[in-house]
Amino acid sequence: MLAVWGKSGRSFMQAMYFSDSIGGVIAPVVTAQFLSPWQQAEQSAFNHTTVDHRNNNHSEGANVYGENRNFSNQGVTFFSSRNLAKDNETISTQYYIISPLFYAYMIPAIICLLVALIYMIMFLSFKYNIYADRDIAEVTSSGYISTSRKVMILINIGLMSGVYTAIEESFSGFLSTFCITQFKWTTSNSSYILCAFYSCMGMGRLVAVFWVSYLNPKKILGVLCLLVSVMLLSTTLCSLQSSDSGLWLSVALLGFVFAVILPTVFTWTEEDYFPVTGHISSYLNIAADCGATVNPVIIGSMMEHYSPMWFTYILLIESFVLLTTYVIGAFLSRQKRKAINGNTYQSMD
């Protein structure tokens, strides 16, 4: 997007990330359909009936006092046995658990293959140089930056990209688990709040397509990074107070705040530092993936060994780090503008 349109590509970047939100809205709804309580067909010497495993509604007063879990993968079917006691007599029953969750993975897998095929066709058929129509001043705008400052800028924007992605991915990835463990919600309800989060993110990106061209990306990022810290602080306080309505509101607002941050990092880099070439784009995406890889391990371990509240604590701390990277980035941007102005005055003299 930036290679083709350069500084005029703000809306196109937001539109591209808006399409990402569409998948985030659809996925939890589709997955929830395959998370309904499993039905187990139980075979017993006394009777034959259908048993709800989650509610443990066993037939005719039979009591479960022992279970042998020896699951063996038979495609989508898992075998188990259970000991029942009735009328002072012990009997072993057998049942099968049917898991349709694999459908939720097959659907996006097929779509991914189709998308990959489209990219392969583009790679083989498109021969046009996407930089051909770019202004030469845009492509060489990083000439005013010293090597040491370029390294500092790259480290900072990489850290910003990594920290933001770590927050967003971990928030959406652990939100359902947090609602189940901390608020004691059902699996379906926790899926719907995740759907609400992605819906608000998608709406924010859709609105941003129209207004983002009129605002400076540096100023937008400053406000959004501050709001991320505010919203995560609100999420923490609502969790400590066990406020369901407060959590819903905080999650929804956080979705709006998250909407435009990552694409704006790309446009800010393009406009204030240097052109986002393939190497710069790859670097930012790798940095983002590193954050998304490390953070879940840390949060998962803290939630498991200490408290589910560490989910909000860690994300709140990371939001302050994100805000710090913005402050450093704004300072480096100002230094670059001073260097450009100094070179301009020297050329005039």
How many domains does one find in the chain? 2
Question: Quick one: 146 and 240 in the same domain?
Answer: yes
- pLDDT interval class at 36 (50, 70, 90): low
Amino acid 338: pLDDT: 66
Do residues 165 and 288 touch, judged by C-beta distance below 8 A?
yes
Q: What is the DSSP secondary-structure string of 245-278?
A: HHHHHHHHHHHHHHTTHHHHHHHHHHHHT----H
Question: Quick one: 27 and 50 in the same domain?
Answer: no
Looking at residues 73-85, what average pLDDT do you find?
45
- pLDDT interval class at 341 (50, 70, 90): low
Q: Is residue 127 part of a domain?
A: no
Question: Quick one: 27 and 72 in the same domain?
Answer: no
Looking at residues 40-66, what average pLDDT do you find?
43
CATH code at 145? 1.20.1250.20
Q: What is the pTM of this model?
A: 0.66
Q: Specify the length of the chain in residues.
A: 349
Output 82 or 239, whichever has higher pLDDT: 239
* Full domain range(s) for residue 314: 2-34+139-343
Question: Quick one: 298 and 238 in the same domain?
Answer: yes
pLDDT over 70 at 228, yes or no: yes
Amino acid 134: pLDDT: 55
Do residues 1 and 16 touch, judged by C-beta distance below 8 A?
yes
* SS3 (DSSP) at 105: helix
Residue 85 has phi, psi (to 5 degrees) of: -120, 125
Question: Quick one: 72 and 193 in the same domain?
Answer: no
